[in-house]
Amino acid sequence: MRPVPWFCKGKAVRDPPRGRQDGFMEYFLQLFFGGLSRGSVYALIALGYTMVYGIIELINFAHGEIYMIGAFMGLIVAGVLTAMGWPTLSILVIALIIAVLYSAAYGYTVEKIAYKPLRGAPRLSPLISAIGMSILLQNYIMLAQTPDFLPFPRLIPDLEFMEPYANFLATSDLFIIVTSIAVMVALTLFIKFTRMGKAMRATAQNRKMAMLVGVNVDQVISATFIIGSALAAVGGVLIASHIGQINFVIGFLAGIKAFTAAVLGGIGSIPGAVLGGLVLGWTESFAAGYVSSDYEDVFAFLLLVLILIFRPAGLLGKQRAQKV
Amino acid sequence: MAASSILNNLKKSAIASLWLAFLTLPIMVIRVDTVEKTVTWRWMHLAYMLAGSFVLALFWHFMMDRRDRGAAARAAGTSQAASALGRVLENPKLVKPLLAMGFLVAAVFPYVFSMYQTNILISALIYVVLGLGLNITVGLAGLLDLGYVAFYAVGAYAYALLNMHFQLGFWTVLPLAAIMGAFFGLLLGFPVLRLRGDYLAIVTLGFGQIVRLVLENWSSFSQGPSGISNIARPGLFGINYSVEQATTYIYYIMLALVILTIFITARLKDSRIGRSWLALREDEIACQAMGIDNTKAKLMAFALGATLASVMGAVFAAKTTFVNPASFTFMESAMILAIVVLGGMGSVLGVILGAFLLILLPEYMRAFSEYRMLIFGATMILVMVFRPQGLIRAKRKVYKINTEAA
């Protein structure tokens, strides 16, 4: 049995026919690539956490919900276009674009409503407001759409040249991996070479100094939320199409796990988020495949608790002395 | 000037409502069925959204103006922070009759109202104690615990399991549940001693999830998602009550526990440990520099909060005679947190008021019950932005030093 996807335990509707009898190596590769594609989605979401944390030191609890909204936008666009009879591949592209735009707009608005008025407030205040925003968005989707699982159309077609490898690497897995890599490379280039990227790095290093040298910090923060949300939406649409169904709570678990990935790699560090996502994806995949899939989520949470206790700075983070 | 600012607000609200309507358009209006390949358009929702968000935006800008004026007044040193509610509650002439009246109503409640009402009030009282317990960790000590419901689960399952396997009665388990709660509180407390605010929040969240997932998956121990049913109601020296009598009985147990908890937390607040919690909340390093034992203060806060939650868990199991892991999700933790935040972090009276508001209002406004969590979420944001001190500001005890007498 292929490990059951992480947010619909016992409800996987699109399990390719694969068996454990395929042999050890095949099973291993299957877990490896499953973990890789899952990990790259974690990394996509984790990037949003890590960028926001790097700049305003806030755990954006609503980030998982932005990812969920991205998946829902994908579903709605795909549903409308399918009803109109468009071809699958163009649906995928349009759904991705609209989901990204809308999620970015949601991220921007969430920041303006729930976090911006609380700048300079005690640390707990924006955190509680973020939890409130997460609950609000979840229930908004539940009330406006449905509390049940919705089937998600299969937007990624099985490619022919992938046929010989289909036993351990589905086309959608490959697609997720490739897209994630492309998006991450684009992000790295953006942060390295553009003016806004430079401003972001400056703000992350020292917000006051950045302000003094003329960086528009409000704009930088907005841009961070927009980019993070867009990345989450890409992850949302891809994984929803891969798994085949969504509902309004998928953001919660995905959010915590992506946060785990961000912390694992060292929060605030962009390569760290990617590394953390991959490590978490593999950990889950192998633990579910070789130990027990019942406790898959427990492994993720245990990893989170252990890393925070023993190495709070993460794998790539630097241990910093606390300023007084 | 006032007119122009109102006009300005109207303009801003109109823009905001247009933006929100645009944002929510696909999700509110379109409903797709990908199996049947049909699309339902619900344009009416757009109109609701436009009107609703306009009113909300107006309210938001009005409150923002008020907040800015408040900040300006505070900067000028002319503020008087006490709200109307606070003034009433601080007036000693009013407090005693109010308290007496409240107590009287509480004492005769099950004999005047139906069993259904009593049951609702019992759950409200349970949340009062849960809120007060979380208030110790979050409100006083400033340790944001997002896995608080795990301790509630510990108590509930402790009673359920001990009752199932060993036929232990409610009164035997109650102290055991308290001890187990304290133990689990320490279990969580020790590893997180070094963590700061937001990391602490995440670890406690993870802890809460782990407890729930273990209860869900370890079927031979906890009977998995189907839960444990037929838990005995509390008896008294071998007397077994009927359902109605038991409800009344549990009501009085809860009333006693609430009064006890209020007494304990109110006394603790002004005690040495209570003051060290406040110091810890305000500044951990300064607190340590003042010679306060951080470790002890943190562990005490965790253990005490957990003990109260665990005791409430046992009462909850006895009241519903059924427990399953679905009662102990993150949303439950968030709800208790909302009670503390709305009531006023650190304020005992505020938390009691918050619990009654957030539990009783949705019960009596059934029409809105599905909007309950939506409103909770919005409340948490609005309270944080506009009234971070909550309904009732926690009062700090002021010591006046009389220099002339010396």
pLDDT tens per residue across span B94-106: 777 888 888 888 8
State residue B399's pLDDT score: 74
SS3 B41: strand
State residue B78's pLDDT score: 53
Whether the Cβ atoms of residue B182 and residue B306 lie closer than 8 Å to each other = yes
pLDDT > 50? residue A7: no
Is any Cβ of chain A less than 8 angstroms from the Cβ of B342? no
B201 CB neighbours in chain A (<8 A) are 59, 127
How many separate domains does chain A show? 1
Tokens found for residue B196: 């700061």
What span, in angstroms and rounded, lies between the C-alpha atoms of A6 and A3? 9
Nearest residue in chain A measured CA to CA from B329:
A252
pLDDT > 60? residue B406: no
Q: Which of A95-104, B56-65, B258-267, B314-323 has the lowest mean pLDDT?
A: B56-65
Residue pLDDT, tens place only, B135-146: 999 989 888 888
State residue A65's pLDDT score: 93
> If you count residue pairs, one on A and one on B, with CB atoms under 8 Å apart, how many are there?
172
Whether the Cβ atoms of residue B118 and residue B252 lie closer than 8 Å to each other = no
Confidence of residue B2 (pLDDT cuts 50, 70, 90): low
State residue A232's pLDDT score: 93
SS3 B236: strand
Evaluate whether residue A8 is within a structural domain: no
Distance from first CA to last CA of chain A, Å, rounded?
A: 53
Whether the Cβ atoms of residue B177 and residue B313 lie closer than 8 Å to each other = yes
Q: Which residues contact B219 (CB under 8 A, 6 or more apart)?
A: none
Cβ contact (<8 Å) for A138 and B203? no
Tokens found for residue A5: 């996807």
Average pLDDT over residues A59-70: 91
CATH of the domain at A25: 1.10.3470
What span, in angstroms and rounded, lies between the C-alpha atoms of A222 and B165? 57
Is any Cβ of chain A less than 8 angstroms from the Cβ of B148? no
Q: Which residue has the tokens 């006051």?
A: A208
Is any Cβ of chain A less than 8 angstroms from the Cβ of B225? no
B24 CB neighbours in chain A (<8 A) are 140, 144
Q: What are phi and psi of A115, to 5 degrees?
A: -110, -35
Cβ contact (<8 Å) for A136 and B374? yes
Nearest CB partner across the interface for B213, out of A102, A297, A305: A297
What span, in angstroms and rounded, lies between the C-alpha atoms of B322 and B312? 14
Is any Cβ of chain B less than 8 angstroms from the Cβ of A250? no
pLDDT > 90? residue A170: no
Interface of A with B in 19-38 (CB under 8 A): none
Crossing angle, helix B115-134 and helix B330-343, to 10 degrees? 80
Beta-ladder partners of B322: B229
Confidence of residue B405 (pLDDT cuts 50, 70, 90): low
Nearest CB partner across the interface for B381, out of A76, A114, A121: A114
To probe the interface with A, which of B202, B212, B216, B339 has the most A CB atoms within 10 Å? Answer: B202
| All structural domains of chain B with their residue ranges | 2-76, 113-386
What span, in angstroms and rounded, lies between the C-alpha atoms of A96 and A92? 6
Nearest CB partner across the interface for B384, out of A118, A150, A298: A118
What span, in angstroms and rounded, lies between the C-alpha atoms of B375 and A134? 12
State residue B189's pLDDT score: 87
Cβ contact (<8 Å) for B30 and A294? no
Average pLDDT over residues A4-30: 55
pLDDT > 60? residue A322: no
What span, in angstroms and rounded, lies between the C-alpha atoms of A137 and B266? 36
Residue pLDDT, tens place only, B161-172: 998 888 888 888
State residue B357's pLDDT score: 86
Average pLDDT over residues A276-281: 90
Evaluate whether residue A205 is within a structural domain: yes
Average pLDDT, chain A: 83
B374 CB neighbours in chain A (<8 A) are 135-136, 139-140, 143
Is any Cβ of chain B less than 8 angstroms from the Cβ of A4? no
What is the four-CA torsion angle of B172, B174, B179, B181, rounded to 10 degrees?
Answer: 140
Which is it for the CA torsion B41, B44, B45, B47, positive or negative? positive
More confident residue, A197 or A163: A197
Of A68, A113, A106, A98, nearest in space to A225 by CA: A106
Nearest CB partner across the interface for B206, out of A113, A150, A305: A305
Nearest CB partner across the interface for A298, out of B214, B377, B379: B214
Confidence of residue A320 (pLDDT cuts 50, 70, 90): low
Tokens found for residue A71: 């998946």
Confidence of residue A171 (pLDDT cuts 50, 70, 90): confident
Q: Which residues contact B39 (CB under 8 A, 6 or more apart)?
A: A79, A80, A83, B30, B31, B32, B33
Is any Cβ of chain A less than 8 angstroms from the Cβ of B46? no
Q: Which of A295-309, B59-73, B233-247, B345-359 has the lowest mean pLDDT?
A: B233-247
State residue B183's pLDDT score: 94
State residue A256's pLDDT score: 85
Q: A305 is in which domain, residue-wise?
A: 20-310
What span, in angstroms and rounded, lies between the C-alpha atoms of B54 and A250? 30
Closest Cα of chain A to B234: distance in Å?
34
Using a pLDDT cut of 90, give the percent of chain A over it.
28
Residue pLDDT, tens place only, B231-261: 888 777 666 677 778 888 889 989 999 999 9
Cβ contact (<8 Å) for B384 and A308? no
A69 CB neighbours in chain B (<8 A) are 27
pLDDT > 80? residue A128: yes
Interface of A with B in 36-95 (CB under 8 A): 57-59, 69, 72-73, 75-80, 82-83
Is any Cβ of chain B less than 8 angstroms from the Cβ of A249? no
State residue A223's pLDDT score: 93
Confidence of residue A16 (pLDDT cuts 50, 70, 90): very low
pLDDT > 80? residue A296: no
Cβ contact (<8 Å) for A128 and B380? yes
Nearest CB partner across the interface for B206, out of A76, A118, A301: A301
State residue B135's pLDDT score: 92
Average pLDDT, chain B: 84
Is any Cβ of chain B less than 8 angstroms from the Cβ of A301? yes
Tokens found for residue A275: 């590394």
B331 CB neighbours in chain A (<8 A) are 135
State residue A136's pLDDT score: 92
What span, in angstroms and rounded, lies between the C-alpha atoms of B66 and B5? 12
Confidence of residue B83 (pLDDT cuts 50, 70, 90): low
State residue A72's pLDDT score: 92
Nearest residue in chain B measured CA to CA from A138:
B374
State residue A10's pLDDT score: 37
Topology of domain B113-386 in CATH is: ABC transporter involved in vitamin B12 uptake, BtuC (1.10.3470)
Listed in order, strand segments (DSSP E) in B118-168 are none
More confident residue, A14 or B163: B163
pLDDT > 70? residue B347: yes
Cβ contact (<8 Å) for B381 and A79? no
pLDDT > 80? residue B297: yes
A72 CB neighbours in chain B (<8 A) are 27
Specify the pairing of strand A245-246 against strand A150-151: antiparallel
State residue A212's pLDDT score: 92
SS3 B31: strand
What span, in angstroms and rounded, lies between the C-alpha atoms of A74 and A99? 5
Average pLDDT over residues A85-100: 88
| ipTM for this prediction | 0.83
Of B342, B341, B343, B346, nearest in space to B395 by CA: B346
